[in-house]
Structure 1
Amino acid sequence: MEYTNTVAASKITMSQLMLPSHSNFSGKIHGGYLLSLMDQIAFACASKYSGCYCVTASVDTVNFLNPVEIGELVTLKASVNYVGQTSMIVGIRVTSQNIQTGKEKHTNSSYFTMVAKDDKGNNVAVPKLILSNLQEVRRFYEGVERVNQKKKLQDQEKILDYSSPQAIENLKNYNVILAL
Structure 2
Amino acid sequence: MQKPQRDITLRFLAEPQDVNFGGKVHGGAVMKWIDLAAYACAAGWSGRYCVTAYAGGIRFVAPIHVGNLVEVEAKVIYTGSSSMHIALEVCASDPKSLNKRLTTHCIVIMVAVDESGEKVQVPKWQPETEKDIKQHDTAIKLMDMRKIISEEMEIFTD
**Common topology (TM > 0.5):** yes
Gaps of 5+ in 2: none
Equivalent residue, structure 2, for 1:111: 107
Runs of 4+ in 1 over 3 A off after TM superposition: 155-158
Aligned ranges for residues 73-88 of structure 1 at < 5 Å?
73-88=69-84
Check if 1:97 corresponds to 2:75.
no
TM-score by length of 2: 0.91
Equivalent residue, structure 2, for 1:122: 118
RMSD: 2.0
Once residues 97 and 41 of structure 2 are traced to their aligned partners in structure 1, the CA distance between those partners, rounded to angstroms, is: 30
Once residues 157 and 61 of structure 1 are traced to their aligned partners in structure 2, the CA distance between those partners, rounded to angstroms, is: 16
Change (3 A) 1:161 1:72: closer
The alignment partner of 2:75 has SS state of strand
How much has 1:161 moved relative to structure 2? 10
Equivalent residue, structure 2, for 1:13: 9
Once residues 161 and 89 of structure 1 are traced to their aligned partners in structure 2, the CA distance between those partners, rounded to angstroms, is: 26
Once residues 131 and 109 of structure 2 are traced to their aligned partners in structure 1, the CA distance between those partners, rounded to angstroms, is: 20
Once residues 99 and 41 of structure 2 are traced to their aligned partners in structure 1, the CA distance between those partners, rounded to angstroms, is: 27
Equivalent residue, structure 2, for 1:53: 49
The alignment partner of 1:128 has SS state of coil
Structure 2 residue identity aligned to 1:30: H
Q: Give the length in aligned residue pairs.
A: 156
How much has 1:142 moved relative to structure 2? 0.6
Q: Which has the greater radius of gyration?
A: 1
Structure 2 residue identity aligned to 1:109: H
